Structure 1
Amino acid sequence: MKLLLSGCFLLWSTGILIGLAIPSSLSAQETGIDTLHLDISKAKAIFLQRNLTLLANQYNIDISKAQVEQAKVWDNPILNTDQNVYDGKFFRHTTENGVQYGQVYIEVQQLIRTAGKIKKGTQLARDNVLNNEAAFKDVMRNLKYLLTTDLNNLSQLQQTAGIFQAEMHTMQVLVKGMDEMLKTGDVSRKENIRIKAVLFSLQNDYADNIRQQVDLQKEIGQLLQLKEDVWVVADAGQPLPAERINQLRIGDLRDLALQNRPDLQLSKGQQVFQQHNIAYQKALAVPDITISPEYDRLNSYVPNYVGLGISLPLPLFNRNKGNIRAAELTAKQADLLVIQLQDQVGKEVLAAWQKLKNATALFDNENTQLKDDYESLMKNMTESYQRREVSLIEFIDFFDAYKDTRTKQYQQIANQRNAVAELNYSIHQDIIQL
């Protein structure tokens, strides 16, 4: 009996040691699809080249530049003419028996826009170019932030999956050994079920982990336009040193954000646009003039009549007051939105800075030492369990504590890196490189 028990304990302990030595494998290997190792910088380079949302928004800038050129041009002249057709002699333009034949009438109308409408309309088009450029930068800022946090979270999940896989392998070996011992009566059915329950819990945790990975793989694949058979391995699992982070000053960060943020630039651009729109709406209240030089060969009071017509609408009823008032109110609204967004930017920077400081404070020497202590103690626990110096329950409790601690350590790294990404996002500048 002792020989059988020692053999089973040797089998279990060997399985545990092997499980702890297994590296974090990937579900990509299980499915046979290609893997792509990506760090943040490499992913951003691919993103700038391939992201379709970004490329589509780039066209908005080109479209608005084309509209600037269109806004500069004058209206086309209008040609009016008529010819006699009743006698079937369309080109009968002769004098017979002292009588002139053949009517010719030509009029050219040219609309002249007054009050600088073309200049003011062109200025509005130029404002739209700047606003579309700011909008494009803001789209890029949001997508880059999404990509960065996705890679950070994917790295954390993949590292955690490695822990689950190692522990599942260990528990599978234990379950197999204890099933044999259950047949010989060396362990109770209660202990056997307890081990299987731990394995079942691990398998559920691992399945949920893979589900979250798949969601992130889909999102990253869309952002980078990757092929469907590519599985991304995120190289974003290292904590960042505290020295650089502790040097950051909230006042400097807030000033940078107010200077750099494209959404704030867009809001200020809308503010300028609305001021220019007031001037444009006032210009629209001024009537435009139509000049019409004309020539009439025979149908006027004298032959070969040459005249000049001038026409303009009389601003008796419509003086564009409603549109002018609407433009003035919209300008006041834009002023308030700028003030509101400036306040929002300051609060976002402060919140991101506080999150980063708090996340970095967790990475002290004691927490770093905790990881090393847990790794070595896990091996010692295995040997103690082999010698039956600890009970099965004590071993399982330590096993669960090891899993929870290592999982939380990876989560802390992801939290810190995401806090850096949020700070960079709130400022629109890579204050700290990931």
Structure 2
Amino acid sequence: MNKFVGLFIIISSFTVAQQQMSLLDCENAFQQNNLQLLAGQYNINMADADILQAKIWELPQISGEINAYNPEAKKLFDVGHAKGADITQLIYMGGKKKNEIAFAKSNKELAQLQFSQLLIDLRTQLRTTYYNLYYEKLKLDNTNRQLGYMNELLSAYKIQSAKGNVSLRDEVRLQSIVIQLSNDKVGINKNILELEQSLKLLTGLKESIEPQLSETEAKSILDSQPFGDEEALKTKALENNADYLYNLKLIDNSKLYAQWQKSLNVPDVNIGAGWDQNGGTFKNEVNLKIGIPIPLWKSNQGNVEKANYAIQQNQKNADYQKLNLETKVEAAFQTWKTQYEQLSQFKTSDLDNLNLVYDGILKNFRRGNISLIEFVDFMDSYRETILQVYEMRNEVIQSAELLNQLVQTKIFY
């Protein structure tokens, strides 16, 4: 009796630790709590800091001088008769600051595109995990239902086999079905545990999540079709895919960097003023000071050439990413289409009929209208079929989510 009480407490605790959540609830929790997403946001903040830093000019420099030794009066530190001061400011020429700021702003745009892609990737992971968990739970419920009946039947046959009323061979046949169902349950439970852990990480919630999705909603999702054909999806992907847009933006970014490096070849000007008490032509003279490097050679030419090569490299990478994206969209669309057409051949009524036949087989077997061999063959076939049906439905949704991840516009449901 104490064992049953303990088992009830464990089951009750497990139930309390779970919470039913819709996909929308999970997405809201994900946007608020996901640590990868929150950490990724700081890249944009750091890019803002780089823009701020790019706008800051070099500080003005002030210097002074005093007499260390007066040879005429033979006096050390004759400060009263000989001292001076200078102040200078570096003036950037050739649009250096403007180019540096433009490059920093371009880096921020890259950071925003990276964050957008991170958001899409993690959101897709959340949605696929949610649907995976939903169908694994359906598999588990169905397997438990079959296993409960088969265990009762096996127990009854063991009793009759011990009395010699049925053959040991019949008991072994039932035992094999129970073992298969038990193995299915172990594998399903393992998948559920892994999926629940993934959802916890994605949503930042401590409790396990029970998908709150009705059969009607699931059917509506499965019945949805993409808008447009394959070529239209490719066009949308090239317009919206953040990863591809990042590679395009990288070309502009490298051009701005090259422009900045070219401007660094333009000499800057140091301008300032100086005061001297007695060291100049006049007493207490004030002088204007200008300093500029002699441009005998381009001091930044190597970095300019490197930046130009980066432009060509990023152009090739963008061309590759375009081809790669179009190829992925084509493959994802064809995969979805094949799986959708395969599933569409299996109607909801077919599954209902399969369950009706299942119930009828159970009743007829209890009444002795069918043999054990026929019953075992049907149960084995039913076990495999029901798992395949749930897997087919899940694969259609998974393919749709992959296509959404590539196209990055809500083309499905």
Q: Does 1:202 align with 2:181?
A: yes
Q: Does 1:177 align with 2:156?
A: yes
* Preserved contact between residue 245 and residue 357 of structure 1 (Cα < 8 Å): no
Q: Hey, what does 2:371 align to over in structure 1?
A: 391
Q: Which amino acid aligns with 1:74?
A: W
Shift of 1:312: 2.7
Q: Does 1:233 align with 2:216?
A: no
Q: Which amino acid aligns with 1:222?
A: L
The superposition leaves residues 180-200 of structure 1 with CA deviations (integer Å, 9 ceiling, x where unpaired) of 101211112222222223212
Shift of 1:153: 1.0
* Preserved contact between residue 69 and residue 77 of structure 2 (Cα < 8 Å): no
Change (3 A) 1:379 1:295: same
Q: Does 1:191 align with 2:170?
A: yes
Change (3 A) 1:189 1:86: farther
From 137, 145, 148, the counterpart of 1:166: 145
Q: Does 1:44 align with 2:34?
A: no
Q: Which stretch of structure 1 is more off in the superposition, 359-368 or 53-62?
A: 359-368
Shift of 1:34: 2.2
The superposition leaves residues 315-350 of structure 1 with CA deviations (integer Å, 9 ceiling, x where unpaired) of 445522211111111000111111111112212222
Shift of 1:158: 0.8
Using the alignment, how far apart are the partners of 2:221 and 2:259 within structure 1? 54
Shift of 1:429: 1.2
Q: Which amino acid aligns with 1:233?
A: P
Q: Hey, what does 2:385 align to over in structure 1?
A: 405
Alignment of 1:249-328 (within 5 A): 249-316=229-296, 319-328=299-308
Q: Hey, what does 1:96 align to over in structure 2?
A: none
Using the alignment, how far apart are the partners of 2:359 and 2:386 within structure 1? 15
Shift of 1:83: 4.2
Normalising by structure 1, report the TM-score. 0.85
* Preserved contact between residue 156 and residue 414 of structure 1 (Cα < 8 Å): yes
Alignment of 1:69-148 (within 5 A): 69-83=52-66, 101-148=80-127
Using the alignment, how far apart are the partners of 2:63 and 2:333 within structure 1? 70
The superposition leaves residues 111-167 of structure 1 with CA deviations (integer Å, 9 ceiling, x where unpaired) of 111110000000001101111111110000110111111111111111101111111
Q: Which stretch of structure 1 is more off in the superposition, 261-270 or 103-112?
A: 103-112
Percent pairwise identity: 24
* Preserved contact between residue 173 and residue 376 of structure 2 (Cα < 8 Å): no
Using the alignment, how far apart are the partners of 2:170 and 2:372 within structure 1? 8
* Preserved contact between residue 112 and residue 288 of structure 1 (Cα < 8 Å): yes
Change (3 A) 1:148 1:215: same
Using the alignment, how far apart are the partners of 2:266 and 2:359 within structure 1? 88
* Preserved contact between residue 164 and residue 202 of structure 1 (Cα < 8 Å): yes
Shift of 1:386: 1.9
Normalising by structure 2, report the TM-score. 0.89
Q: Which stretch of structure 1 is more off in the superposition, 382-391 or 262-271?
A: 382-391
Q: Which amino acid aligns with 2:306?
A: A
Q: Which stretch of structure 1 is more off in the superposition, 138-147 or 46-55?
A: 46-55
Using the alignment, how far apart are the partners of 2:84 and 2:17 within structure 1? 77
SS in structure 2 of the partner of residue 79 of structure 1: strand
Change (3 A) 1:70 1:236: farther
Change (3 A) 1:29 1:344: farther
Q: Which amino acid aligns with 1:176?
A: S
Unaligned 5+ segments in structure 2 are 1-9
Using the alignment, how far apart are the partners of 2:147 and 2:203 within structure 1? 33
Using the alignment, how far apart are the partners of 1:49 and 1:430 within structure 2? 21
Using the alignment, how far apart are the partners of 2:86 and 2:229 within structure 1? 72
Change (3 A) 1:171 1:271: same
| Corresponding residue pairs, total | 398
Using the alignment, how far apart are the partners of 1:168 and 1:242 within structure 2? 28
From 406, 410, 413, the counterpart of 1:430: 410
Q: Hey, what does 1:416 align to over in structure 2?
A: 396
